[in-house]
Structure 1
Amino acid sequence: SNLPSKREVDKMVEEIKKGIEEAEKCRCGNAVRINSRFEVTTQRFGDIVVAAVSGRSFESFEDLPSTVEKRLNDILRAKGCKIRAIVIDRHDSLRPGGRRKIYPFSKEEDELIDLLLDAVGKVEAGMDKIPVGYSRADIRMRSIGKGGVRVAVVGNAAYICFDSNNMLPELRDMIAERVEKEGLIPVIATTDTHDTLGIRDTINPAGIGCDEKCLEETADAIKEAVLKAKESAKEVEVRVNMRRIRTKVVGDDLMRDILRKTKEADYSIPLVLLGILPVQIAFLFI
C-alpha cells in the first residue's frame, strides 16, 4: 500500500513473477518455536530460514529495527554458515495508547538475536516434500483490509495473515490457543497495511471495537480456516528463490523530496494539503 505509483507496482509484480519462475528445488523441514520475552518461529527452506518474531510478552509492541536481521546474518556468516535468515516482524500485538519498541544494539535486541541464533540452529531441512494447504476466512471488520485473512499450513506450522495494521493481543491469544489444540504451531501476523488507517483511525489493530463474543467468533472462524487448510494439504516439493527488488516507497526520503520541491515551487496549497490529508490523496494535488 506504500508503493507510490502503478509503475512501481508493476515492477514489483514482474520481479515476483521472475522469482517464482526461477525458483530452485530444495529440501525443507518442520517449524521450530522458542519462547522467551520474544516468541520466535523458524522454518527452513533450502539455505533460507524464515524467522517470524512476536513481541507479545511486551503487551503492545511494534517495529523491529532492521539491524536485527543484519546482525543475525553477520554472525551466521562469521560462523561459516551458508544459511540466510529472513526476519519477519509479525505485528501481532498492539493496544491503543502506546507501544514498546526495541532499539538497535540495545539489550533487548541482543537478547532477541541470541534467541534467533538458537532457533536457527535447531531448524532442519531433511524433507524432500512437505504437506501444504491453503484457505481464506471471510471476516468483516473495519480494521481488516481488502486482503482479508489468509491461512497457509506448511508442515506443522499454520501461517495466519490478517490484512490489517497490527492486532489486539486478546484476539491473537484466542487464535493461538485454538490452533495449538489442533497440533499446529500458530504463526499469526498482519500485513501492517496503512489502508485501514485514516485521519481519525490512526491506530486500528484487528479486533478493535469488538466485544468478547465478537473476538471469540473471529477466533473460531480462523480455527475453521486453519482446519480447512490442513484438510486440503498435499505433499509437495518446495522451491525457493530470493530476490532483491529496488523500488520507491512512500517513506521519509520521498516525503522530504516532495516537501523540498514543494517549497522550491512555492506551492503553498499542496503543502497545506500534505498536512491535513492522507499522503495518497495529497499526491493528486501536487
Structure 2
Amino acid sequence: MTSDIAVLAEDLTKFYGAQRGIENLNLDVKVGEVMGFLGPNGAGKTTTIRLLLDFLRPTRGHARILGLDPRRDKAVLHRQIGYLPGELAFPGRETAKDLLRFFGDARGGVAWSTVTSLAERLDLDLSRRVRAMSKGNKQKVGLVQAFMHQPALLILDEPTSGLDPLMQQEFLAMVRDARDNGQTVFMSSHVLAEVQSTADRVAIVRNGQLAAVEKVESLGRRAVRSVEIHFGDPVSRAEFTGLPGVSNVEVAGPVLRCTVDGRLDPLIKAAALHEVIDLLSAEPDLEETFLSYYYHSEGATDATAAAGA
C-alpha cells in the first residue's frame, strides 16, 4: 500500500448466511481526498464501513487503513480516525460537554477550544443532556466527536441524517475545511446532492456490489434532460424513435416530447427537417440521472472501466 492511499479494500466481501452484504469490493481512497460512498439504503454502505473499521470480520478479502491493518492495529488506528456511525446510541445521563470531554480524554486529549468552536458552528448546546436531545442534536454531538481531534481520516455514515438544511450546509463546509487541512474523508450517503459539492470522486454501490467509481464532474456528463419541440406541422413519432440517446418519445400533433441522454445533436438534426417553432429543454436533473443510470439500468457501468473516468 503506497503512502498516498488512505483506504484500500481488496476483494472485500461479507455474507450474512446466504444474504450478501457486500461482495468483491475493490476500492482505494487517496490521502486528502473526499470520497462519496453512494447507494440506496440497504446497498451495503454500512457493512463496508464496519468492515473497514474491523467491527465486522470479512467473509473474504481485506482492507488497509492509513497503511495499517484494521484488526491488528485497531487501537492505534482508532486514534487517527473520526467515525460517525449511521445509528447513534449514547447511553447514560451525561451532558454533551461531559460526553465530549470523555471522548477527548480517550483520544489522548483534545483542545477544548476546538470542541467549542465546532459546537458553535453546529449551534449545539453543550450543557444539555444528550439523552434528552432531538435526533438532529444528537447527530451534532456525533459530528463534533468525529471532527474534534482533527483525525487523518474521517469515516462518516449518513452524516446529515436528522440535520436541518442550514446545518447540512454547515456540515458540508466542515468537510471542505477538513479537505483543505489535508484530511481524508470517506462519506456514505444515499443523497447525491449531499456529496456533489464536496466530493472529489464517488463510489457507487448497488445490491451489495460496486457499480462504478467516478469523478464527480463526470456524473454531469450523463445528463438526462427533458426536451419539448413545437413544430409548424404535425410530425411522425417514427422519425424520432431510435435516435441515439433519445427515449420516451411522445408525439401529439405538432408537439414532440422526449428524454435525451447525452448529446442533443441527433435530435436537433432530425428536428431540423421540419419547421421548428419552439424548443424547450429542461436543465438536467443530476439526481434523476444518477438514479436511473446506476440503480434502474441493467447495464450498470463496469467498476474497473469507470474507475479511470
Q: Same fold (TM over 0.5)?
A: no
Q: Which one scores higher on RCO, CA 8 angstroms, separation ≥ 6?
A: 1
* Larger of the two Rg values belongs to structure: 2
TM-score, normalised to structure 1, is 0.26
